[in-house]
Structure 1
Amino acid sequence: MPKNETKRLLATLLLALAAGTAGTAGAAEPPAMRLDRPQEASLVAVAAAGNRLVAVGDHGVVVRSDDGLNWTQADKVPVDTLLTALSFADERNGWAVGHGGVLLKTSDAGQTWALQQRLEDAPVLLSVWFENAQHGIVVGAYGYASETRDGGNSWQRLAVGEEGDDYHLNRVFPGPDHSLFIAAEGGNAYRSLDDGATWQALDTGASGSLWCGTALPDGRVLLAGMSGRVLLSDDRGDSWREVDSGSTEAITDIRALADGRVALVGNGGLVAVAGGDLAGFTPTVRPDRQNLSALAPLRGGDLLILGQAGVSPGLDKGGPGKPLD
Structure 2
Amino acid sequence: MGTDTEFGRPTVVAVSTNGLTWTEISLQGSRKLEKVAYGNDRFVAVGGYEIRTSNDGVNWALQTFVTSQPLKALAFGAGKFVAGGVSGGVFISADGQQWLAQTNFPGTQPVSATHGPKGFVMVGPKGTLLQSADGETWSNHFVGCPDDLSSVVFGAGTFLAASANRTLMTSQDGMTWTTQAAGGGIGYRVRFVKDRFYVVGEGLASSPDGAAWQLHNTGVKSPIWLDVSYGNGQYLLSGFSAIYPPAGPPILSPALSASTDGTSWQRLGSAPDPPPTALAFGNGRFVGIASKDGTAQLMSSTNGLDWTRVAWPDAASLSGVVFAGGVFVVVGPSSTILISTNGTSWTEATKSTPFFAIDLNSVAYADGQFVTVGAVSVVGDAFAAISDDGMSWSATMVPPVTGLAGVAGGSGFKIAVGGSGVVLRSPVTKRPLRLGGWQHQGAFVLEMEGTAGGYCTLQTSTDLSAWDFWSTVVASGRVQWIKDRTPGPPARRFYRAVE
Alignment of 1:258-297 (within 5 A): 258=367, 260-267=368-375, 268=380, 269-276=382-389, 278-284=391-397, 286-288=399-401, 290-297=402-409
Deviation of 1:274 after TM superposition, in Å, equals 2.9
1:253 has 2:365 as partner: no
SS at match of 1:272: strand
2:257 is aligned, of 142, 147, 150, to 147
2:192 is aligned, of 75, 87, 98, to 87
2:200 is matched with 97
AA of the residue aligned to 2:289: A
Deviation of 1:276 after TM superposition, in Å, equals 3.1
| CA pair 41-312 structure 1, distance change in 2 beyond 3 A | farther
The C-alpha deviation readout for 1:264-314, integer Å capped at 9, x for no partner, is 1013311112343733332546412x22111112344x4110112332214
Deviation of 1:111 after TM superposition, in Å, equals 0.8
**In the aligned structure 1, how far is the partner of 2:213 from the partner of 2:144?**
16
2:289 is matched with 183
2:336 is aligned, of 209, 229, 247, to 229
8 Å contact from structure 1 (residues 47, 88) kept in 2: no
**In the aligned structure 1, how far is the partner of 2:281 from the partner of 2:336?**
20
**In the aligned structure 2, how far is the partner of 1:126 from the partner of 1:238?**
24
| CA pair 277-126 structure 1, distance change in 2 beyond 3 A | closer
SS at match of 2:358: coil
| CA pair 181-284 structure 1, distance change in 2 beyond 3 A | same
AA of the residue aligned to 2:258: T
2:452 is matched with 319
2:176 is aligned, of 70, 74, 96, to 70
8 Å contact from structure 1 (residues 188, 206) kept in 2: no
The C-alpha deviation readout for 1:110-137, integer Å capped at 9, x for no partner, is 11223324763424322122459x8322
The C-alpha deviation readout for 1:235-257, integer Å capped at 9, x for no partner, is 44323234336132211111223
Q: CA RMSD in A?
A: 3.3
Question: Which blocks of at least 5 consecutive residues in structure 1 are unaligned?
Answer: 1-34
Deviation of 1:234 after TM superposition, in Å, equals 4.1
The C-alpha deviation readout for 1:190-223, integer Å capped at 9, x for no partner, is 11123x2322113445332011111221x12211
**In the aligned structure 1, how far is the partner of 2:181 from the partner of 2:172?**
15
2:267 is aligned, of 156, 165, 170, to 156
**In the aligned structure 1, how far is the partner of 2:343 from the partner of 2:258?**
25
8 Å contact from structure 1 (residues 274, 282) kept in 2: no
Alignment of 1:97-136 (within 5 A): 97-98=200-201, 101-106=202-207, 108-117=208-217, 120-131=220-231, 135-136=234-235
**In the aligned structure 2, how far is the partner of 1:52 from the partner of 1:82?**
19
8 Å contact from structure 2 (residues 158, 171) kept in 1: yes
The C-alpha deviation readout for 1:81-128, integer Å capped at 9, x for no partner, is 5422333331xx332111xx321122x411122332476342432212
SS at match of 2:392: coil
1:208 has 2:316 as partner: yes
Task: Tell me the TM-score normalized by structure 2.
Answer: 0.48
2:4 is matched with none
SS at match of 1:304: strand
Over alpha carbons, which structure has the higher Rg?
2
Give the helix-richer structure, 1 or 2.
1
The C-alpha deviation readout for 1:133-169, integer Å capped at 9, x for no partner, is x8322223667341222534332136444xxx3x362
**In the aligned structure 1, how far is the partner of 2:220 from the partner of 2:390?**
44
8 Å contact from structure 1 (residues 234, 240) kept in 2: no
Give the strand-richer structure, 1 or 2.
2
AA of the residue aligned to 2:281: P
Deviation of 1:189 after TM superposition, in Å, equals 1.1
Structure with higher RCO (Cα < 8 A, 6+ apart): 1
**In the aligned structure 1, how far is the partner of 2:164 from the partner of 2:173?**
23
**Pairs aligned (count):** 271
**In the aligned structure 2, how far is the partner of 1:240 from the partner of 1:197?**
25
234-243 or 246-255, which deviates more: 234-243
8 Å contact from structure 2 (residues 158, 209) kept in 1: yes
SS at match of 1:309: helix
| CA pair 271-83 structure 1, distance change in 2 beyond 3 A | same
Question: Which blocks of at least 5 consecutive residues in structure 2 are unaligned?
Answer: 1-126, 128-141, 241-251, 431-450, 455-476, 478-499
1:61 has 2:160 as partner: no
What percent identity do the matched residue pairs reach?
19
1:172 is matched with 279
| CA pair 223-160 structure 1, distance change in 2 beyond 3 A | farther
SS at match of 1:191: strand
8 Å contact from structure 1 (residues 223, 232) kept in 2: yes
